Structure 1
Amino acid sequence: MKKLNFVVKTTQKLIRIDKYLKQYYIKDISRNQIQYAIKSGKILVNKQYIKNNYIVKPCDYIEGTINPSVEVHIEEYNNIHEENIPINIIYQDEDLAVINKPAGMVVHPGIKNQTSTLINGIIYHFKKNINLYRCGLIHRIDKDTSGLLVFAKNEYTQEYLSKQFFHKTVKRQYIALVWGNLKYQQGTISGYIGKDPKNRIKMKLFNQFSIGRQYSITHYKVIERFKHLTSIICCLETGKTHQIRTHFKFLGHPIFNDKIYGGNKIPIQNSNKYITFLKNCLNILNRQALHSCYLSFVHPKNQQICSFICPIPKEWSLLLQQCRYYYKFVI
């Protein structure tokens, strides 16, 4: 994490802030990452939020942070083609839209997923706003995680919501199903999340800070117990990549059917009665059991708190019904 806290020299010539920071202070970070940090409200000038075209002046006070591990490719968003993909819009107005993303859908294009992403569909449904940075994307959830996302329809809304995420005033809750019987009814998991040195597609929780690691906090509470599985609700105090998945893998209770973190393997042995049932459970919910169920933020226009609830998908509900019946009446 790069920290900024300085006053511009009195001899400084007028220059755009993104060019200025790249040229004089953070040469090892791309200009796209600098622009993203500014857009997200992470860089202030004279205690004020600014835009990328802000002109730096002598004696300006610049402060903020830039995360060098964030991968930003602005040019990719300028060349995305629209696709008529069905999108479950649960609320929208002239400023924003709240969407229920299905599991299995990638949020934005990448090297391996250049089409059929949520962004492709967003461009089709909101054609008038495709000039927005990252097409109005404020935050994201993993491919195999379902649930709530908010998109901006104009620049002011995008900046307003981005600042709320930056200052952690947005409230988010996830429902998850994890392997095993959690020891405590509620608790908090914290630590530094960074790339797993043994597997670069995975994240890992560390006790100590190091470059590239970010501090993370997850609060959880048990909803229901099924001997070999525990249904929980998680409240994010921070929102890091794979945060909930990484935290519960660290506890030894990986997310059910999470193929990357070992949740697709049944963690019991020598019990054919249980194993047969649990294999059937994996077939019923053939994706990681993580769902963004609650999202709350302040609306940019009227400053009223907007809260949205999204129930778990049908196949997940079916799995819970099977567990309730099996563990109550069969064993």
Structure 2
Amino acid sequence: MQNHTIKNESFQPEEENSEPKKLTLQVSKVQIPMRIDKYLTQQVENATRNKVQEAIEEERVLVNGRPVKSNYRIKSCDSIQITFLRPPAPELAPEDIPISIVYEDSDLMVVNKEPGMVVHPAFGNWTGTLANAILHHIGKDAGTLDPSELRPGIVHRLDKDTSGLIIIAKNPTALHRLARQFAQRQVEKVYKAIVWGVPDPASGTILTNIGRSKKNRKVMANYPYEGPDGKHAVTDYLVEENLHWFSVVSLTLHTGRTHQIRAHMLHIGHPILGDETYGGRVLRTLSFSRSESFVKNLLECMPRQALHAEKLRFSQPTTHETLSFSAPLPVDMLRTLDRVRTVLASQLHS
């Protein structure tokens, strides 16, 4: 591995960040005059009076293109634009959702998240998340966490379709201390992925800046490491198994940029199998006859990015004991690897 130095910047989680949401409302010709904060609370689903007033104070509410005060009385045909830093959300509620708890003490839990589970509520996924399951599991002690943030106890995050280990704090003190470990890069995190092709050399360090794409704000892009765009991103990789057309790669994060591993593997020409956003679902022709059907079948077997948060190592926030955990590959990744190995063996002996 190459040596690398990184500025001590704030830790950013791997999962996509919430984008500001802009809403435009056209007041009816027959609307009865009323205060704008009351009107917006009535008109915008899940918006609270406090959030609306906060937006007004920060000049994120414009009427006919100009900021107004909370006591402004709307008029017929007014055009109102409001920008929410986070989309208005319903109150987070406990839900009895099964979760796989690897470890638990009075301060924290380590959960092996299944692929397909959203970590915290966001636009389009207000229920059925890991956060809802956490509130139910903690029960009466959940009152020590702040559900208004929609991320009770969540120190870091994983993409919806990434499986594996995630740390959950059970009280504010533990949350603060664990977050500090992430910010100071004292948490060791190792992922495992199935990628297209075999990286050469078999180990190395990927250094780029990562920031939102200028063409598509939902996608992260790589920029020059010392350039002005994006923030430093550093990933170590190691090929653990060469499968000729694919490989199993171990990845160690030294920064926590959004979609870092997925963007970095695309950057070196070895996207993660199944990753639709970052080039991993492109049908490719392999070096044997009828490979097209094999690849199509493989992508059906792996409908998500084949990425798993395999190992965690950190300090218990109260006792300072070093805690280490690992989670085996999920069934879909194991099944996919079995198919690749079987076909590879048959081709080598044909």
Specify the TM-score bucket, using the shorter chain as the normaliser: 0.7 to 0.9
Q: Spell out, residue by residue over 1:64-117, the C-alpha distance to the aligned partner (whole angstroms, 9 max, x if none).
A: xxxxxxx975985x8211111111111101110000111111101111111111
Q: Which runs of 5+ in 1 are unaligned?
A: 4-26, 31-70
Give, in whole Å, the separation in 1 of the partners of 2:306 and 2:116. Answer: 12
- Counterpart of 1:210, as a letter, is P
The 1-side partners of 2:323 and 2:86 are apart by 30
Task: Give the secondary structure class of the aligned counterpart of 2:179.
Answer: helix
The equivalent of 1:129 in structure 2 is 142
Cα offset for 1:271?
5.4
Corresponding position: 1:261 with 2:278: yes
Kindly state the Cα deviation for residue 268 of structure 1 after the two structures are TM-superposed: 2.9
Partner residue of 1:104 out of 113, 116, 138: 116
SS at 1:201 equivalent: coil
Q: Say whether 1:147 aligns with 2:164.
A: yes
C-alpha distance in 1 between matches for 2:219 and 2:309:
20
| Structure 2 equivalent of residue 209 of structure 1 | 227
Offset at 1:237?
Answer: 0.6
Q: Does structure 1 retain, via aligned residues, the 8 Å contact 2:284–2:295?
A: no
1:205 alignment partner, SS class = strand
Select which of 191, 197, 207 maps to 2:208: 191
Q: Structure 2: how far apart are the matches of 1:300 and 1:73?
A: 30
State how far apart, in whole Å, the 2-side matches of 1:295 and 1:73 are: 30
Q: 1:130 to 1:274 in 2, by over 3 A?
A: farther
TM score, norm. by length of structure 2: 0.71
Using the alignment, how far apart are the partners of 2:134 and 2:316 within structure 1?
A: 20
* Whole-angstrom CA distance in 1 between matches of 2:85 and 2:197: 37
CA distance in structure 2 between the partners assigned to 1:293 and 1:254 by the alignment: 18
Matched, 1:281 2:311: no
Rate the CA distance shift 1:74–1:148 in 2: closer, same or farther, 3 A.
Answer: farther
* C-alpha separation in 2, matches of 1:116 and 1:310: 22
The answer to whether the aligner puts 1:221 opposite 2:238 as a matched pair is yes
Q: 1:218: Cα distance to partner?
A: 0.2
Structure 2 CA distance, aligned partners of 1:326 and 1:226?
Answer: 10
Q: Residue 126 of structure 1 aligns to a residue in which SS?
A: helix
**Counterparts of 1:215 and 1:195, CA distance in 2:** 13
Contact persistence 1:194–1:204 (CA under 8 A) = yes
State how 1:146-165 maps to structure 2 within 5 Å.
146-165=163-182
Determine if the alignment matches structure 1 residue 116 to structure 2 residue 125. Answer: no
Q: TM-score, normalization: structure 1?
A: 0.75
Q: Work out the CA distance in 2 between the residues paired with 1:275 and 1:74.
A: 42
Structural RMSD (CA)? 2.5
1:226-276 C-alpha deviation (Å, 9 max, x unpaired): 121111000001111000000011111111000111211123378542222
In structure 2, distance between residues paired with 1:154 and 1:74: 26
Match of 2:39 in 1: none
Preserved contact between residue 192 and residue 307 of structure 2 (Cα < 8 Å): yes
Do residues 91 (structure 1) and 103 (structure 2) align? Answer: yes
Q: Per the alignment, in what secondary structure is the counterpart of residue 233 of structure 1?
A: strand
The answer to whether the 8 A contact 1:179-1:267 is kept is no
Residue equivalent to 2:252: 235
Where 1:320 maps in the other structure, the secondary structure is helix
Asked if structure 1 preserves the Cα contact closer than 8 Å seen for 2:109 and 2:169, the reply is yes
Larger Rg: 2
Among all aligned residue pairs of Structure 1 and Structure 2, give the percentage whose two residues are the same amino acid: 37
**2-structure distance, mates of 1:94, 1:270:** 54
Whether the 8 Å contact between 1:171 and 1:295 is mirrored in structure 2 is yes
Secondary structure of the structure 1 residue equivalent to 2:308: strand
Name 1:319's counterpart in structure 2.
336
